[in-house]
Amino acid sequence: MDGLPSDLLATALLFADHAALLRLETVCRRVRSTIVRDTDAASLACAALSSASTWSHTTTDYLDYTLGENALVSSVQIEPYRVFWYPGSPTYSPKQLSFALYELQDDGEIGPLIYESMVFSIVKNMTGYEGPPSMDRKLESRGLTMPAQESYQRRDRLPQSSSPVIELEHTIGFSAVPNAIHYHPSGRDYVYPAGGSVLLTSFQDAHSQLFLRGHLGHVSCIAMSRSGRLLASGERGRSADVLVWDYAARRLLFRLSEHDAGIAALAFSDDERLLCSVGSPEDGPRLYVWDAQTGNICATHQKMANIVTAIAFGGMARDVKRRDTINYQFATVGHRLLLLWVLNPATGELMQNKIEQTLVRDYTSVQFSPDRETLVAGSSSGDFCVVGVKTRQLLKTVPACSCGVNAVLYFDGGLLVGGGDGSVLHFDHNFVDTCHVALDSGVAGLALNAEQTEVVAGTQAGSIYAVRLAFGASQRSLQANLLSENHSSAVVQVAYAAGVSDRFATISRDCTIRVWDASDYSVVTRCVVNNAGAPTCLQFSLDVLLSGWTDGSIRSHGSDWGELAWSIDNAHTGGVTALVLSHNQRFIVSAGVGGEVRVWDIRKRDLVSHLKEHSMAVTHLALYRDDLHVISCSRDRSLLCWDLRNERRISSHIQRMGGINTVALSADQHLVLSAGQEKRISYWDLRIDTPVTVIQKAHDEEATCIAVAHNL
């Protein structure tokens, strides 16, 4: 709590109380102080909290929730007039606490974001925190005055043993799920998933990134409402939820938990009142239509006929005279599936209409035309089908690209198609191809800006492009500009060169090595390795990129140009598992699956030493600054120190249980740190048989890597 910023609109006091109640009390009217009382978790039978039921500053109606279990409260928002709690579900009590502060506008609506807190753990015997005096000056600068505080007994600040939080600076990553990218109507941001988070990234500032976190599994689909006010995300896994976010406030509105397995597709209605979600095949698949204002279920279809891959709303259904009715219409496509649905929002009745066609297609994407008279569905066959909404009949099939149509985007200027071959094509209203542009790999998603002049496109190789629509009177063209690059598969290792902090290198299971500029996260060097198996390790210097591979080879690429300089074939039978470059850059120490440690002369690429005592694969190496001693660790639970000059082992340490996955040297090189299957971090003095220090339960799962800061 010592790091809590001073520019808060309220002071948070947290202290111990053995009463079995956790409450939030209001003690001021204009600027609030909040009290959170914690109890012994074992005796916490129930808890209650109060929350205003509306946003208005004149609100006097409060709702009380009874809480019966421990859970994560996603945020607490403290307004000048009211205190609002936003738990992930109104049926759980908080175990952790975070909050966001916003300015309250004159009309009672949410204003700009002032502060977003770290996550605080609500722990037993919690001591108190009181805002610093500088907070008063911050409040006065915003036109507010702090009233006299109630007389409460002051307590010591939270102990330093509270869960530490590291601020996430930036994420490099892109999950190329279907319909993976969205262009916010404001024109400032674009939205995409990366792992279990949804990222909001600025077009102008590479460092401006916000994270929406709440999923336990990887995000499988996202959807944005037409105005950009709402955002929805679904996830994979057995306990998959749909999360609905307030985009402007960057907060969770609803957690929708009806799906039992993963979420396959999401879509908002044109008026932003409804959200449709369809589950993965393991889920049924089941279809739900939700009220986006309340989070309630409007309608459901419990068993779809086939796998669903995409959904699109088409405004209001029309009667025989083509007049809008009160019913909504939307389409679902998938494996040999193309259906039109009509929903009566008053009764929740769902009616499905199958499109009459003789084709057998696996559909991947779907969109309504702006006038809602035509439906376009892309297929894995590389064409798209045009359907008349009124007649519900197939009008034509138009070939587009190879490797399937992954995305379609229907707008006033025609139709944009994203192909599995990396092409983005434009078709006019007569479905004639007018222009195209080639991207680096298959298109995962397309999204148009509000002015309909630019498209943001994500590809399966992890790249994100801005595609300019240059539609003149006599000539049309698509102009692609690379916005960002990302690995398309798991990152195996990250490496910095000695003495360099503005560049770093990564190697990934997509068989690429990249050198990144940390100032703008752009790629300055790119290496593509083919027919080498999977990468296992990486070393980076200003001159070379050294990598180990499962085919047993050590490869060297130029760090400036990325071309292959040389390789040592068959360096280790079964595959290379670890590499370390000497400080004088004259030799390499490598390790393999068979438990051997080998030393190689860089200039001649000759074997200098062969050291073998490990009985299982060596997992990591750490070289001392003298370039004479190296530490190796293995899945056989052993930690060995080698004298490279005399080619012999000089110390051996055995971990009590579990293999060792990684080692590192302390800054003064007096201690060796290890981590692995025991889920703890051990500090070793090589002169002593047992660890001198052990951090128990450092991880919930098996530890895979460790790094030591230069000043520790």
The average pLDDT across 142-147 equals 32
Grouping H, G, I as helix, E, B as strand and the rest as coil, residue 694 is strand
pLDDT greater than 70 at residue 553? yes
State the pLDDT confidence band at 148, using cuts at 50, 70 and 90: very low
Q: Which residues pair with 589 in a beta bridge?
A: 580, 599
* SS3 call for 282: helix
pLDDT of amino acid 184 = 96
If one compares 161 and 320, the residue with the highest pLDDT of the two is 320
CA distance 414 to 416: 7
Q: Is the pLDDT of residue 539 over 80?
A: yes
pLDDT at 524: 96
Q: 249-260 burial, b for 16+ CB within 10 Å, e for fewer?
A: bbbbbbbbeebe
Residue 358's pLDDT is 83
Residue range 627-655: mean pLDDT, rounded: 96
pLDDT at 302: 87
Q: State pLDDT tens for residues 83-110.
A: 333 333 333 334 555 556 666 666 666 6
- 146: exposed, middle or buried (Cβ count in 10 Å: 0-12, 13-18, 19+): buried
Does 246 have pLDDT greater than 50?
Answer: yes
pLDDT tens digit sequence for 18-51: 222 222 222 222 222 232 333 333 332 223 333 3
**Lowest mean pLDDT segment, chosen from 145-154, 228-237, 493-502, 559-568:** 145-154
Report pLDDT digits (tens) over 555-609.
Answer: 999 999 999 999 999 999 999 999 999 999 999 999 999 999 999 999 999 999 9
Answer with the residue of higher pLDDT: 118 or 410.
410
The pLDDT value recorded for residue 615 is: 95
Residue 120 has pLDDT above 50, yes or no: yes
pLDDT tens per residue across span 462-484: 999 999 999 987 789 999 999 99
What is the predicted pLDDT for the residue at 406? Answer: 96
Mean pLDDT throughout 230-238?
94
Mean pLDDT of the 449-461 span: 96
The whole-number pLDDT of residue 105 equals 66
Q: Give residue-wise pLDDT tens across range 357-393.
A: 888 999 999 999 999 999 999 999 999 999 999 999 9
Beta strands in 570-658 (DSSP E): 576-581, 587-592, 596-601, 607-612, 618-623, 629-634, 638-643, 648-654
According to the model, what pLDDT value does residue 388 have? 94
Least confident of 49-58, 179-188, 296-305: 49-58
Contacts for 148-156: CB closer than 8 Å, 24+ residues apart: 149/11, 149/27, 149/28, 149/33, 150/27, 150/28, 150/33, 152/13, 152/35, 154/128, 154/130, 155/15, 155/127, 155/128, 156/127, 156/128
As a whole number, the mean pLDDT across the chain is 81
Higher pLDDT: 147 or 350? It is: 350
Mean pLDDT calculated for residue range 124-129: 34
Tell me: the pLDDT tens digits for 298-333?
Answer: 999 988 888 999 999 999 999 988 899 999 999 999
Mapping DSSP to helix (H, G, I), strand (E, B) and coil, where does residue 141 land? helix
Instruction: Sketch out the chain's domains with CATH numbers.
Output: 11-141 (no CATH), 491-695 (2.130.10.10)
Task: Give whole-number Cα distances, 585 to 516, 544, 557, 581, 598, in Å.
Answer: 22, 10, 15, 6, 16
